[in-house]
């Protein structure tokens, strides 16, 4: 199974499991290349049914409400959506039959001719990928953004394969779920933003999560340029044996060849590279004040994006000039209103402890923190040092509320008030507003997934934004 589909045989059989955005894009691409396509989804809700009806009109065989094994086992290539856990019944059944599957980006890369800049890491992936594409465009290159990026901002990789003419560069954000089943994709530039605990609700251990992240380095070759976080020893250790060239970024010290923060300046030194500004000397290429994004974590993201753009062929000085025109992305330290003197910040994308810790570091205290959602099994005590510096009160809510409060309360030792808030999201936010004082911030940085109350973190952030609008009236 999993043959190298060339698009030359009209009888090639492609099976796609999952009819989300990436599954639909894979089906459309396979049909456009002349394949015979079967797609299945365990759901049959109206949105999935509408999507399936459109694909059926294009010639796909669509199965909703389950996954028949026969068309999957007989397919030449099986493409599985990243949202389907590897221990799900359908994938377990395929594994028992010796059938392998690939990720949607891996399928798409067979038809992508543009050099690929692949971005992964625990946090900062979307911002770094979007910023890299923005900088490439600012330097005069056509750049398409896709992959794991939210559908509202970019398309799945398979949709990029349909672009005519092909862009000069393609920037793909890939999650650990996608990397796990990717084998043929070859990055020209690979970026690892950072590594921290995440997705322990899906992975049996942190080591298993890191194993999938390591796939990035296994996909590269001698011609790949790696952009690495020099401040994260886990990234450096993971990339140690990867072939290719290395560029590093740091907020703490000079990192040659690479880029770093020096005071309020972004400095680059590529040590004689053809992309080196000013003939081989370290040079200031931008400043922190050029960046519209708040927080040290976004300064690191900017350094990573600057190096990725340079490694992909952009003139560093010209690319850096585009930093000032990159607007903050939704749900990432997004100001959404001020009510009664309380500033509301939507950081719904902070779906793990490390991301919430970065958000706290970027904030000026005091603040009231909304923390909770679907529990991922992380240690909330890791937030306590940052909470002591910034938070006056933590409102723990949702499925993770009890465990979060039990961990944070004793560890904070009375320095931070911790309350468990019952009820729906609107009640939680209303209590947060009631407890916050004029001049403080109400920060939604949940450190948890959203699925106990919402379809995804975007819906959660949209709800927070809508409540800000309603309560300000």
The predicted-structure confidence for 37-52, as pLDDT tens digits, reads as follows 999 999 999 999 999 9
Portion of the chain with pLDDT greater than 90, in percent: 93
Confidence of residue 11 (pLDDT cuts 50, 70, 90): confident
Q: What number is the average pLDDT over the span 90-97?
A: 97
Q: How confident is the model at residue 92 (pLDDT cuts 50, 70, 90)?
A: very high
Q: What's the CATH code, domain 108-325? A: 3.40.1190.10
Contact (CB, 8 A) for 116 and 109: yes
The answer to which of 193-202, 268-277, 380-389 has the lowest mean pLDDT is: 268-277
Average of per-residue pLDDT across 454-458? 95
Task: Give the pLDDT mean for 23-30.
Answer: 98
Tell the CATH superfamily of the 334-471 domain.
Answer: Mur ligase, C-terminal domain (3.90.190.20)
Return the bridge partners of 444, or none: 346, 370
User: pLDDT band at 310, cuts 50/70/90?
Assistant: very high
Q: What is the pTM of this model?
A: 0.93
The string of DSSP letters for 313-350 reads T--HHHHHGGGGG-PPPTTSSEEEEEETTEEEEE-TT-
Q: Measure the N-to-C terminal CA separation of the chain; round to a whole number of Å.
A: 59
What's the pLDDT score for residue 8?
46
Backbone region of residue 192 per phi and psi (left: phi > 0; alpha: psi in -120 to 50; beta: other values): beta
pLDDT of 165 higher than 60: yes
What average pLDDT does range 279-290 have in this prediction?
87
**Structural domain boundaries of the chain?**
13-100, 108-325, 334-471
Across the range 32-37, mean pLDDT stands at 96
Mean pLDDT, residues 310-325:
97
pLDDT score of 277 more than 70: no
Task: For strands 258-262 and 245-250, give the pairing.
Answer: parallel
pLDDT at residue 276, rounded to an integer = 54
Round to whole Å and give the CA distance between 297 and 340: 29
Average pLDDT over residues 160-177: 97
Between CA 237 and CA 391 the distance in angstroms is: 34
CATH number assigned to the domain with residue range 13-100, chosen from the 4 options 3.40.50.720, 3.30.70.1450, 3.30.200.20, 3.40.30.10: 3.40.50.720
Kindly report, residue by residue over 208-260, the tens digit of the pLDDT.
999 999 999 999 999 999 999 999 999 999 999 999 999 999 999 999 999 99
Task: Tell me the per-residue pLDDT of 134-159, one tens digit each, with 9 for 90 and over.
Answer: 999 999 999 999 999 976 689 999 99
């Amino acid at each position: 199974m999993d043959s190298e589909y060339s698009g030359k045989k009209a009888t090639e059989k492609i099976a796609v499991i999952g009819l989300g955005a990436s599954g639909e894009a894979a089906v459309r691409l396979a049909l456009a290349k002349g394949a015979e396509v079967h797609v299945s989804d365990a759901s049959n809700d109206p949105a999935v049914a509408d999507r399936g009806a459109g694909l059926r009109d294009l010639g796909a065989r669509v199965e909703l409400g389950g996954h028949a094994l026969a068309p999957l086992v007989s397919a030449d290539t099986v493409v599985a959506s990243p949202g389907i856990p590897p221990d799900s019944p359908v994938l377990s059944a395929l594994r028992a039959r010796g059938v392998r599957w690939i990720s949607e980006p891996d399928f798409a890369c067979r038809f992508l001719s543009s050099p690929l800049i692949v971005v992964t890491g625990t946090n900062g992936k979307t911002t770094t990928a979007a910023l890299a594409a923005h900088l490439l465009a600012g330097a005069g290159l056509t750049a398409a953004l896709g992959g794991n990026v939210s559908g509202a901002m970019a398309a799945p990789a398979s949709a990029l394969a349909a672009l005519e003419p092909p862009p000069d560069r393609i920037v793909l954000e890939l999650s650990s779920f996608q990397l796990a089943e990717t084998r043929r994709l070859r990055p020209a530039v690979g970026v690892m933003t950072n590594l921290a605990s995440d997705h322990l609700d899906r992975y049996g251990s942190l080591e298993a999560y890191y194993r999938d992240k390591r796939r990035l380095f296994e996909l590269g070759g001698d011609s790949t340029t790696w952009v690495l976080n020099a401040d994260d020893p886990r990234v450096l250790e993971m990339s140690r044996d990867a072939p290719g060239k290395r560029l590093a970024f740091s907020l703490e010290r000079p990192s040659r060849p690479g880029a770093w923060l020096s005071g309020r300046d972004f400095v680059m030194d590529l040590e004689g590279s053809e992309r080196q500004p000013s003939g081989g000397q370290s040079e200031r290429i931008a400043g922190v004040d050029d960046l519209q994004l708040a927080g040290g974590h976004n300064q690191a993201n900017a350094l990573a994006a600057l190096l990725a753009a340079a490694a992909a062929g952009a003139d560093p000085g010209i690319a850096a000039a585009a930093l000032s025109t990159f607007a903050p992305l939704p749900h990432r330290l997004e100001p959404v209103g001020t009510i009664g003197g309380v500033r509301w910040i939507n950081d719904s994308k902070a779906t793990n402890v490390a991301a919430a810790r970065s958000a706290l570091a970027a904030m000026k205290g005091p603040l009231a923190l909304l923390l909770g959602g679907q529990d991922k099994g992380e240690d909330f005590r890791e937030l306590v040092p940052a909470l002591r510096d910034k938070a006056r009160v933590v409102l723990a809510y949702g499925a993770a509320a009890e465990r979060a409060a039990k961990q944070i309360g004793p560890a904070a030792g009375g320095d931070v008030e911790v309350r468990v808030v019952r009820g729906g999201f609107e009640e939680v936010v209303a209590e947060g507003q009631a407890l916050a004082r004029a001049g403080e911030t109400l920060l939604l940085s949940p450190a948890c997934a959203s699925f106990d109350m919402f379809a995804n973190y975007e819906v959660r952030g949209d709800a927070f934004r809508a409540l800000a609008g309603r309560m300000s009236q």
